[in-house]
Structure 1
Amino acid sequence: MINEKNNYEDYLMNYHELLKKAGQDLIAAGKEERDARQLLLYLKKWSVADYLKYGVAEVAKEEEICYQELLKKRTQGVPVQEITGSQNFYGYEITVSPDVLTPRPETEQLVELALREMESLQWPKVLDLCTGSGCIAIAIAAENKKAQVTAIDISDQALQLAEKNGEQNLVNDRITWLKSDLFEGLEERGFDIIISNPPYIPTNEIADLEIEVKQYDPQLALDGGVDGLYFYRKIAEAGINFLKPGGKLFLEIGDGQGSDIAGILRSSHWQDVQVLPDYAGRQRMVVAGKPGHEKIERN
């Protein structure tokens, strides 16, 4: 029988038992139980299928010690993605670092909306602003083989990592990585879609964020100015000039910002402005269109 204590005993557990105990420890520390599996798969370089196949095998003591070290980092607030160095986004593995915002699940829903709009476009031209890790650009290029994507960021470090991620996911032939402060260095126009997850946290709220965000995501990717709306004003004002007539804008927003951002867009003559909920029911996305009757080239 296993001696039930907070620390692991000399008893050689199998991987199923180890994972169960680790999950309980993470819950007790206020973390997600699912993180225990992700860290175990990372340590073993396993797929979920591998875990199901080999989970009854005994765990070597050295492995158990290494696993405990990973769990310790997690209980201390280090995000799983910072421990493993990667995050799955829309089915694609994205390398992350302290230089970029860790991809979030809600951003996948923004990508899904944009891809749905692109289904009827013959050769869609997409502009990804504040690309960070490149996750949005990569997912779009990988899912729509006819898409040509321009991905912009002001950070050299972010762009280097994004290009590396594009190479890893075999899509760099259809993505142009460009350093620019939003539209300032962009000469190309006539995009069908602009998509962005810009910084949207008000400056004075950053200090109150969870430690996993404020300590491990770069401030450059978080700080949206005094009211969190700085980048939305810039995008609303200039973005309409870079879209084809009838083109669409897709934005991720902070919960509670929908009404303000919709007002900003309408004041800049965008039409069909919609504030949309994520799967949790929170207002996290805005879609808007550029006025005009010119037809976008479709199938």
Structure 2
Amino acid sequence: MSLNLVQAWKQAREKLEAAGIAGPVIDARLLVEAAAGATRADIVTDPYRPLTPEQAATLGDYLARRARREPVSHILGRKGFWKIMLQVTPDVLTPRPDTETVVEYVLRDFPQTASWTVLDLGVGSGAILLSILAERPAAKGLGVDLSEEALAVARENAANLGLAGRTALLRGDWTFGLEGESFDLVVSNPPYIASHVIAELEPEVRDHEPRLALEGGADGLDHYRTLAPEILRVLKPGGRFAVEIGYDQKQPVEALFRAAGAEGVVTVRDLGDRDRVVAGVKKALETKA
């Protein structure tokens, strides 16, 4: 007897609950939709549509992988972020809603028609950079990453979103080789998890995310020590920056940017009311009266 959509969703939820998966309702729905070629609306308006044997087998495979704590984004190969859909592989961090705080904040003071230049350090899948460029059609961006595999993912996402013509991607170590005072905006979600904490992370992160994109040294702050002065170096006078931080890193990261000469340094909280983004500006050139 074949499963229909609503039965498949119910059984999928029960299997994920039994496996101890957090958020089994949403995960089950996403996996059913993907396996059955259905939408959320289909489950509501056509709940008794049967799955083919092939679709049921695909769903069974998806559920087995999720029960082994493989992220849904890796199973499906995609993840929604901000207003765009991104291809995702194990070579990049899965984009998270917390990181949307960076995009939301910088867009507030980013004029719709301004031809700004944006630098994304540690571009990964391209989530931050491509979200900004999708919202600001006059802007151009450069994404830098140490991982060639990550850059390949970002390159595919830029092409899929029709943004390849405004997106340059470069393999590099942060700002090494970049000229000073070149960018109007610099954004980054650097690795900020302390090395000793990695083993305590959820299996979805610890076992499936690239360690290169997670580990921030003994106290999680190694990359900010490098980035603070370098971000100020490559920003144009009056340029802005916004970097993601861990929930408990506000004070040291703010101090690093102030010591590097940043002005107007603030910390923005995410939707969970946790400290998430440190932002500021580079001092503008003084004008003669």
TM-score by length of 2: 0.93
Contact 1:98 1:218 in 2 (8 A): yes
The alpha carbon displacement at 1:61 in A equals 4.1
- What percent identity do the matched residue pairs reach? 36
Counterpart of 2:105 (choices 93, 99, 113) is 113
Q: Paired residue for 2:138?
A: 146
Q: Paired residue for 1:17?
A: 7
Cα deviations across residues 91-137 of structure 1 (Å, max 9, x unaligned)?
Answer: 22211112111111111121111122212662111111100111111
3-state SS in 2 of match to 1:101 = coil
3-state SS in 1 of match to 2:185 = strand
Q: Paired residue for 1:155?
A: 147
Alignment of 1:250-265 (within 5 A): 250-265=242-257
Contact 1:128 1:194 in 2 (8 A): yes
Instruction: Give me the whole-angstrom Cα distance separating, in 2, the residues matched to 1:38 and 1:195.
Output: 30
Q: Paired residue for 1:232?
A: 224
Contact 1:180 1:186 in 2 (8 A): no
Contact 1:134 1:165 in 2 (8 A): yes
**2:74 is the counterpart of 1:82:** yes
Instruction: Give me the whole-angstrom Cα distance separating, in 2, the residues matched to 1:220 and 1:167.
Output: 25
| Residues 160/13 of structure 1: CA separation in 2 closer, same or farther (3 Å cut) | closer
Q: Paired residue for 1:197?
A: 189
Residue type matched to 2:100 in 1?
Answer: E
Cα deviations across residues 194-241 of structure 1 (Å, max 9, x unaligned)?
Answer: 000000011122122111101111111011112111111111111111
Counterpart of 2:64 (choices 36, 48, 72) is 72
Q: Paired residue for 1:28?
A: 18
Contact 1:277 1:283 in 2 (8 A): yes
The alpha carbon displacement at 1:15 in A equals 0.6
**2:259 is the counterpart of 1:267:** yes
Residue type matched to 2:104 in 1?
Answer: E
**2:287 is the counterpart of 1:292:** no
Instruction: Give me the whole-angstrom Cα distance separating, in 2, the residues matched to 1:146 and 1:168.
Output: 19
| Residues 294/27 of structure 1: CA separation in 2 closer, same or farther (3 Å cut) | farther
| Residues 178/238 of structure 1: CA separation in 2 closer, same or farther (3 Å cut) | same
Residue type matched to 1:25 in 2?
Answer: K
Gapped runs of 5+ residues in structure 2? none
Instruction: Give me the whole-angstrom Cα distance separating, in 2, the residues matched to 1:244 and 1:187.
Output: 11
**2:87 is the counterpart of 1:95:** yes
Gapped runs of 5+ residues in structure 1? 1-10
3-state SS in 1 of match to 2:94 = coil
3-state SS in 1 of match to 2:237 = strand
TM-score by length of 1: 0.90
Cα RMSD (Å): 1.8
Contact 1:179 1:185 in 2 (8 A): no
Cα deviations across residues 125-164 of structure 1 (Å, max 9, x unaligned)?
Answer: 1111100111111111111101111111111111111111
Counterpart of 1:184 (choices 170, 176, 179) is 176
Instruction: Give me the whole-angstrom Cα distance separating, in 1, the residues matched to 2:231 and 2:184.
Output: 11
Contact 1:252 1:284 in 2 (8 A): yes
Contact 1:245 1:294 in 2 (8 A): no
Q: Paired residue for 2:209?
A: 217
Residue type matched to 1:283 in 2?
Answer: D
The alpha carbon displacement at 1:242 in A equals 1.2
Contact 1:200 1:228 in 2 (8 A): yes
Q: Paired residue for 1:125?
A: 117
Instruction: Give me the whole-angstrom Cα distance separating, in 1, the residues matched to 2:17 and 2:171.
Output: 42
Instruction: Give me the whole-angstrom Cα distance separating, in 2, the residues matched to 1:242 and 1:85.
Output: 34
The alpha carbon displacement at 1:54 in A equals 3.2
3-state SS in 2 of match to 1:184 = coil
